[in-house]
């Protein structure tokens, strides 16, 4: 069993790099099939998506483009609650087939808001590809069309995901040790 320490916590290796590569390939194959004849725009949500995006794109055989955004949350009025702002979207997505590429969908609140914001720009279609999905944690209904892994309610790091800034460089995925 491979155990590492990041800041104050110990983590146990749960998903080796080879297994990640196989599942990312499976997601890419599904996108190749579903978007045949189209030219999707893959829209990555930084920072967590960068490794997933890189490996996903290397497995895409169709014409595709890539762009990245960051999200920032701030407290709006009482009626709007938390507002998610999508920062850095430089091109028009009107009429485009957009695939949002995310590291992990947990409560689903971030993706729910992002879908709302992007839909205002009238894309031809909007889909989510998330590396990880925690079904037990979902608090809003959000359609994750492509997910590489469904995982239990545990905090993970590695392959782009961090714990307080560290761990993104790990090629494997680790679960926090209870
Ligand atoms: P949601 O809005 O779906 O609750 O939150 C999604 C975001 O929470 C992800 O993009 C990620 O930044 C963070 N997150 C949720 N679960 C985990 C986890 O297990 N590990 C890490 N490193 N980040 C997580």
147-158 confidence digits (pLDDT tens): 999 999 999 999
117-130 CB burial, b ≥16 within 10 A, e <16: ebeeeebeebbbbb
Q: What band does 43 get if pLDDT is binned at 50, 70 and 90?
A: very high
Distance of alpha carbon 154 from alpha carbon 74, whole angstroms = 26
- Chain segment 87-131, per-residue pLDDT in tens: 999 899 999 999 999 999 999 999 999 999 999 999 999 999 999
Q: Is residue 173 part of a domain?
A: no
Q: Is 151 in the pocket of ligand 1 (CB under 6 A)?
A: no
For 127, residues 6+ apart whose C-beta sits below 8 A from its C-beta are 97, 98, 99, 100, 143, 145, 146
97: containing domain = 17-149
Domain of 85: which CATH number? 3.40.50.2020
pTM for this entry: 0.95
For the chain, give the mean pLDDT. 95
With a pLDDT cut of 70, the percent of the chain lying above it is 96
C-alpha of residue 85 to centroid of ligand 1, in Å: 17
Q: What band does 66 get if pLDDT is binned at 50, 70 and 90?
A: very high
Whether 13 has a pLDDT exceeding 70, the answer reads yes
Nearest ligand 1 atom to alpha carbon 112: 2
Q: Is residue 3 part of a domain?
A: no
pLDDT of residue 178: 81
Residues marked active site are found at 106
Number of folded domains in the chain?
A: 1
Q: Is residue 172 part of a domain?
A: no
């Amino acid at each position: 069993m491979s155990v590492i320490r990041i800041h104050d916590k110990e983590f146990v290796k749960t998903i080796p790099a080879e297994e990640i590569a196989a599942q990312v390939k499976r997601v890419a194959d599904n996108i190749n099939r579903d978007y045949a004849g189209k030219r999707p725009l893959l829209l990555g949500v930084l920072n967590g998506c960068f490794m997933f995006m890189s490996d996903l794109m290397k497995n895409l055989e169709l014409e595709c483009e890539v762009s990245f955004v960051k999200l920032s949350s701030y407290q709006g009025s009482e009626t709007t609650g938390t507002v998610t702002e999508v920062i850095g979207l430089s091109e028009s997505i009107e009429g485009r087939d957009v695939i949002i590429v995310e590291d992990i969908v947990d409560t689903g609140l971030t993706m729910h808001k992002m879908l709302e914001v992007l839909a205002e720009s009238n894309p031809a279609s909007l889909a989510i590809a998330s590396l990880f999905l925690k079904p037990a944690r979902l608090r809003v209904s959000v359609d994750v069309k492509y997910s590489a892994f469904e995982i239990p309610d545990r905090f993970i790091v590695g392959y782009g995901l961090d714990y307080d800034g560290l761990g993104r460089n790990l090629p494997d995925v680790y679960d926090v040790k209870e």
